[in-house]
Structure 1
Amino acid sequence: MSSKSNQFQFYEVVVVEAGSDEGLRGISGEEGAIMGMSQDEETGCWGYAVSLFSTQETWDVSESQLIKTGRMKQRSDFYSGDSIRVIVDPESGEGSLKE
C-alpha cells in the first residue's frame, strides 16, 4: 500500500468536479463540505463524504474529483452539540433513552 496524505480537511468547503464519472454528473459544480474521509488500503487513494449545501445530501467523492475553494466551515455549522443518553439492558442488549 502506498500511504499518502489527504489533501482536504474536515469541514473544508469544496466543489465537486465529476469529470467522466457519470454517477456524479448531476452534482458537478456543486459546493459542499468535507464531513468524513477514508483511505483505500490497496491504492492509498482518499475518498470523502461531502455534504452538499444545496440539498444537504452526502455523497462519496474521490479526492481527484474535488476542487479546493480556500474556505472552511466550523464543526458548529453542522452540529448543535446536543446529545442524548442511552441505557442498555445488559441481558437483551436493547437500548432506551435515559430520562
Structure 2
Amino acid sequence: MDTNQLVKLSQSLDAARSTLSDCIKARSIVNNAGTHQSEISIRCGNVTVSVTEMDRGYTQSIIRGREMIALGIKKVLNAKIDDAQDKVKRIEAEIKALTAGDKP
C-alpha cells in the first residue's frame, strides 16, 4: 500500500466532507430563513442590488422576485451538495480500493 497516497486521499476526504457539511448548513439556513422577510442581495458582475430595500411596500413583483431568487439559491445549493456527496463517495471508493489488498 502506498501510504503517501493514502494520506493524500484522507486529507482530500476530510476537505470534501467539510465542504459537504458547509453546503448542508447553508441550505438549512436558506430553508429556514423565511425568505419573505430575510435579507436578499444579488450581485451580478460589479453591480449589487439589495432586494430587501425595494420590498418595503410589499410590491407583488418584488415579492415574487424574492421567491424566485430563494428558489434559485436552493437549487444551486442542492447541486453543490450532490457534487460534494459524489466527491466523498469517489474518494471513499479510492481509499477502499487502495487498502483492499492489505487485509490480514
State the TM-score bracket (shorter-chain normalisation): under 0.3
Greater RCO structure (CA 8 Å; 6+ sep) = 2
Greater strand share, 1 or 2? 1
TM-score, normalising length: structure 1: 0.25
TM-score, normalising length: structure 2: 0.24
Greater helix share, 1 or 2? 2
- Based on CA coordinates, which of the two structures has the bigger radius of gyration? 2
